[in-house]
Structure 1
Amino acid sequence: MSSLHHVLLLGGSGKIAQLLTPLLLQRSWNVTSIIRDPAQVGNLQKLGEGHAGKLSVLVRSLEEVTSDAHAKSLIDEVKPDYVVFSAGAGGKGPPERLRDGTEKIDRDAACHFIRASVATPSITKFVLISFVTSRLRKPEWWTEEIWQTEQNTTLKALKRYYEAKVAADQVLHEEGKKRKDFAAICLRPATLTPEPAGKVLLGKTPVAKGTSSRASVAELTALLLDAPNVKSCWLDMHDGDEDPAAAVKRCIDEGIDVAEGEPYY
């Protein structure tokens, strides 16, 4: 059994977060789940039933986290050693929600919590859920056709979301360099689906279009947090044909980091 950890789960009412919560609790880890809507507390608390770990639910608005100091105060209140950022608008919703929620949560709150986590010595891992095409430059393992297609479709359709996520991804990469004992992990799924967890394609994926089961995203997040030798990295993921635990081990052993090719890499 893994040693006891305490995970701060930001965006705890999201679909991936709700799938992730029991995976963490069954490891005998404690989870503090941050949600915005007090009406969801009861349903979230049910996720903690029957597990060895303890689930706490806090009602806080991430949109109101407007500084690194504010994020640090919440971290100091919870006292986690791992942080998962799975909050955000997901590039969907009315225009005003996209503008305000996406910029305030996907970009600003994410960056505040990243910097605050790096500034907290007791925190050793941070997982940010991003998406596979959140990058500034074409990676060498994609063709020019794939990159141009993504720029003309996904990135154009989700412009605000892309701009927010690519900014947070860069901050995670740069802040993660500041501490050798800190794993800054960016997990980057393709189009999310409600399918059950299954086998995966992880690392330098040769395609951008594809699907990623939310349950598989949750499973990979738990495995990455549980991996003792994981280091800072970006990992693209799709549904695929490799066992998730084997895929995580391979990526760690080979030192795979798909941030390669970005201007700040």
Structure 2
Amino acid sequence: MAHNVLLIGGHGKIAQLLTPLLLARSWNVTSMIRSADQTAAIEKLGQGQPGKLSVLVSSVEDVQTESDAQKILDQVKPDWVVWSAGAGGRGGPSRTKAVDQDAAVAFTKASIHAPSIKKFLTVSYIASRRNRAPWWTDADWEAAQKVNNEILPHYYKAKVAADEVLTVLAKERFDAEAKKGVPENERFAGISLRPGTLTDKPAGGVTVGRIPSRGDTSRATVAETVVAVLDTEGAKGYIDVLDGDEDTVGAIKRLVKEGIDNVEGEDFEDQKKRASQL
């Protein structure tokens, strides 16, 4: 089936690696970029690919509400949405909040409230959580706390808030569709893909499941994992990924079969309270 994918943050490093992989599957991609100056670089990614590539020049910073996001969804008409945008630490705390929280939440809400959209995947990071993962060691938890509270505090606050909105609203839609008798493989999938420290190394194998909070993940591997997750029925929830030795496609299928969701350890009711305030 030729899916229509809206890729938000299309000029980012991961997104540029991801775009040809999506097109190679004969999926159609609309790459959303912030500046017309970036158009030529994106258009090159579609050359010789079976999928159709479209470019949408529209800055995520202009998306402040669910209504703003809905206008873009109405224009593109995707059935899958991938969020790979980010302030990248540029513009200070206010821009981080505007992009990584406000715009991300707006697209998350609009996507989940659109019946035609079946999957929403956001690229987050492995330490974006409030509570200690039950499988983490003391050193894992200490490292995550250092990143979240000392190194990237504003980014952490924005990302964890957006992740929680995705978790809560995706579960509500999934459960509502279950009550309506929608088959499980046709229900909405909300996915937070959570790599470690990003590198520019070539793509390789992965380590997934109940893994440490510390380690590297190449951007190319993240891109390949996004494709594997989108293409695997039943893949949803938090998916932590580091560089490793397991085949990416097989690893994601194993996660689904074993029912592993790295959201384990988070308090859903607390998430629900916070999400309702955004």
The percentage of counterpart residues that share the same residue type is 50
Q: In the alignment, which of 2, 5, 9 is matched to residue 3 of structure 2?
A: 5
User: Cα offset for 1:178?
Assistant: 2.0
Query: Which protein has the bigger helix share?
Result: 2
Aligned mates of 2:268, 2:92 — CA distance in 1: 27
Please give the residue correspondences for 1:21-170 in structure 2 after superposition, counting only pairs within 5 Å: 21-90=19-88, 92-93=89-90, 97-170=91-164
In the alignment, does 2:267 pair up with 1:263? yes
What one-letter code is carried by the residue in structure 1 that aligns with 2:77?
K
Contact 2:201 2:220 in 1 (8 A): yes
CA offsets 1:142-171 (integer angstroms, 9 cap, x no match): 022321232134541100000000000100
CA offsets 1:58-85 (integer angstroms, 9 cap, x no match): 1101111011011011001100000000
CA offsets 1:203-245 (integer angstroms, 9 cap, x no match): 221x211100100000010111111232x31011110111101
Please give the residue correspondences for 1:131-210 in structure 2 after superposition, counting only pairs within 5 Å: 131-180=125-174, 181-205=187-211, 207-210=212-215
CA offsets 1:162-203 (integer angstroms, 9 cap, x no match): 000000010010010122211000000000001111000112
Aligned mates of 1:50, 1:35 — CA distance in 2: 21
Aligned to 1:247: 251
Aligned residue pairs total: 257
Contact 1:146 1:208 in 2 (8 A): yes
Contact 2:100 2:158 in 1 (8 A): yes
Contact 1:138 1:144 in 2 (8 A): no
Contact 2:29 2:54 in 1 (8 A): yes
Aligned mates of 1:155, 1:220 — CA distance in 2: 28
Q: In the alignment, which of 15, 18, 26 is matched to residue 16 of structure 2?
A: 18
Aligned mates of 1:178, 1:253 — CA distance in 2: 22
Contact 1:204 1:235 in 2 (8 A): no
Contact 1:10 1:87 in 2 (8 A): yes
CA offsets 1:130-150 (integer angstroms, 9 cap, x no match): 000011000110022321232
The TM-score normalised by the length of structure 1 is: 0.94
Aligned to 1:228: 233
User: Cα offset for 1:100?
Assistant: 2.6
CA offsets 1:8-27 (integer angstroms, 9 cap, x no match): 00000000000110011011
Aligned mates of 1:149, 1:74 — CA distance in 2: 38
Aligned mates of 1:99, 1:235 — CA distance in 2: 27
Aligned mates of 1:72, 1:190 — CA distance in 2: 31
Q: In the alignment, which of 218, 236, 242 is matched to residue 238 of structure 1?
A: 242
RMSD between superposed Cα atoms in Å: 1.2
Q: CA 1:242/1:155 → structure 2, altered by over 3 Å: closer, same or farther?
A: farther
Aligned mates of 2:199, 2:234 — CA distance in 1: 29
User: Cα offset for 1:38?
Assistant: 0.9
What one-letter code is carried by the residue in structure 2 that aligns with 1:217?
V
Aligned mates of 2:92, 2:121 — CA distance in 1: 23
What one-letter code is carried by the residue in structure 1 that aligns with 2:94?
D
Q: CA 1:67/1:260 → structure 2, altered by over 3 Å: closer, same or farther?
A: same
What one-letter code is carried by the residue in structure 2 that aligns with 1:98?
G
Aligned mates of 2:143, 2:216 — CA distance in 1: 16
| Poorly superposed stretches of 4+, deviation over 4 Å | none
